[in-house]
Copies of this chain bind each other. A is one copy, B any other.
Protein backbone atom coordinates (compact mmCIF):
# COMPACT_ATOMS: atom_id res chain seq x y z
CA UNK A 1 0.00 0.00 0.00
CA UNK A 2 1.30 3.42 -0.89
CA UNK A 3 0.96 6.19 1.65
CA UNK A 4 -1.59 8.80 0.72
CA UNK A 5 -0.53 12.41 0.89
CA UNK A 6 -3.25 14.36 2.63
CA UNK A 7 -4.03 17.76 1.22
CA UNK A 8 -6.21 19.58 3.76
CA UNK A 9 -7.83 21.70 1.05
CA UNK A 10 -9.15 18.60 -0.66
CA UNK A 11 -11.25 17.80 2.37
CA UNK A 12 -12.83 21.23 2.48
CA UNK A 13 -16.24 21.89 1.00
CA UNK A 14 -17.12 25.56 0.44
CA UNK A 15 -20.86 26.12 0.74
CA UNK A 16 -22.33 28.84 -1.48
CA UNK A 17 -25.68 29.54 -3.11
CA UNK A 18 -26.43 26.18 -4.70
CA UNK A 19 -29.13 23.91 -3.24
CA UNK A 20 -27.95 22.11 -0.06
CA UNK A 21 -28.01 18.70 -1.75
CA UNK A 22 -25.13 19.73 -4.05
CA UNK A 23 -22.94 20.16 -1.00
CA UNK A 24 -24.32 17.04 0.69
CA UNK A 25 -23.23 15.10 -2.40
CA UNK A 26 -19.76 16.65 -2.22
CA UNK A 27 -19.35 15.75 1.46
CA UNK A 28 -20.61 12.18 1.01
CA UNK A 29 -18.28 11.76 -1.98
CA UNK A 30 -15.34 12.86 0.19
CA UNK A 31 -16.23 10.37 2.93
CA UNK A 32 -16.78 7.70 0.33
CA UNK A 33 -13.37 8.38 -1.18
CA UNK A 34 -11.74 7.47 2.12
CA UNK A 35 -11.56 10.81 3.94
CA UNK A 36 -11.86 10.56 7.70
CA UNK A 37 -12.67 14.21 8.11
CA UNK A 38 -14.46 16.79 6.00
CA UNK A 39 -14.51 20.52 6.74
CA UNK A 40 -17.61 22.42 5.63
CA UNK A 41 -16.97 26.16 5.29
CA UNK A 42 -19.37 29.03 4.60
CA UNK A 43 -19.70 32.78 4.93
CA UNK A 44 -22.61 35.16 5.42
CA UNK A 45 -26.05 33.85 4.53
CA UNK A 46 -24.64 30.54 3.35
CA UNK A 47 -23.88 29.69 7.00
CA UNK A 48 -27.34 28.24 7.55
CA UNK A 49 -26.90 26.14 4.40
CA UNK A 50 -23.61 24.79 5.78
CA UNK A 51 -25.45 23.66 8.94
CA UNK A 52 -28.17 22.09 6.76
CA UNK A 53 -25.47 20.24 4.79
CA UNK A 54 -23.81 18.81 7.91
CA UNK A 55 -27.16 17.78 9.37
CA UNK A 56 -28.48 16.15 6.18
CA UNK A 57 -25.22 14.18 5.79
CA UNK A 58 -25.44 12.94 9.37
CA UNK A 59 -29.15 12.18 9.42
CA UNK A 60 -29.62 10.61 6.02
CA UNK A 61 -26.38 9.38 4.52
CA UNK A 62 -23.42 8.87 6.87
CA UNK A 63 -24.89 7.95 10.20
CA UNK A 64 -21.49 7.50 11.81
CA UNK A 65 -20.56 11.04 10.91
CA UNK A 66 -20.00 13.17 13.97
CA UNK A 67 -19.50 16.88 14.31
CA UNK A 68 -15.98 17.08 15.73
CA UNK A 69 -15.62 20.83 15.98
CA UNK A 70 -17.39 24.03 14.97
CA UNK A 71 -15.60 27.36 14.70
CA UNK A 72 -17.12 30.74 13.98
CA UNK A 73 -15.25 33.86 12.99
CA UNK A 74 -15.32 37.16 11.15
CA UNK A 75 -13.66 37.82 7.80
CA UNK A 76 -12.87 41.20 6.33
CA UNK A 77 -13.94 41.44 2.72
CA UNK A 78 -13.34 44.21 0.17
CA UNK A 79 -16.25 44.52 -2.22
CA UNK A 80 -16.25 45.67 -5.86
CA UNK A 81 -16.52 49.31 -4.87
CA UNK A 82 -13.43 49.00 -2.68
CA UNK A 83 -15.31 49.15 0.60
CA UNK A 84 -14.40 46.91 3.50
CA UNK A 85 -17.06 44.94 5.26
CA UNK A 86 -17.10 42.23 7.87
CA UNK A 87 -18.79 38.94 7.23
CA UNK A 88 -19.30 36.04 9.63
CA UNK A 89 -17.94 32.63 8.78
CA UNK A 90 -18.33 29.06 9.99
CA UNK A 91 -16.19 25.92 9.79
CA UNK A 92 -17.85 22.62 10.63
CA UNK A 93 -15.42 19.69 10.98
CA UNK A 94 -17.24 16.44 10.49
CA UNK A 95 -15.56 13.09 11.00
CA UNK A 96 -16.56 9.61 9.97
CA UNK A 97 -16.24 6.84 12.52
CA UNK A 98 -15.60 3.92 10.20
CA UNK A 99 -15.72 1.18 12.81
CA UNK A 100 -19.37 0.52 12.22
CA UNK A 101 -19.94 -1.06 8.84
CA UNK A 102 -23.65 -0.22 8.76
CA UNK A 103 -22.91 3.02 6.98
CA UNK A 104 -21.55 1.59 3.78
CA UNK A 105 -24.90 0.22 2.67
CA UNK A 106 -26.45 3.56 3.34
CA UNK A 107 -24.20 5.57 1.16
CA UNK A 108 -23.44 3.16 -1.62
CA UNK A 109 -26.52 4.45 -3.44
CA UNK A 110 -25.14 7.92 -3.14
CA UNK A 111 -21.72 6.77 -4.32
CA UNK A 112 -23.24 5.62 -7.59
CA UNK A 113 -24.86 9.04 -8.01
CA UNK A 114 -21.60 10.81 -7.38
CA UNK A 115 -19.69 8.67 -9.85
CA UNK A 116 -22.30 9.34 -12.52
CA UNK A 117 -22.01 13.05 -11.81
CA UNK A 118 -18.26 13.11 -12.24
CA UNK A 119 -18.33 11.83 -15.82
Contact = CB atoms under 8 A, between A and B. Distances in A.
Interface of A: 44-48, 51-52, 54-55, 59, 67, 70-74, 86, 88-90, 92
Nearest to A73: B55
A110 B56 CA distance: 39
Contact of A55 (B55, B70, B72): B72
Contacts of A55: 72-74, 86, 88
A90 B48 CA distance: 9
Contact of A51 (B47, B52, B67): B47
A35 B118 CA distance: 52
A44 B47 CA distance: 10
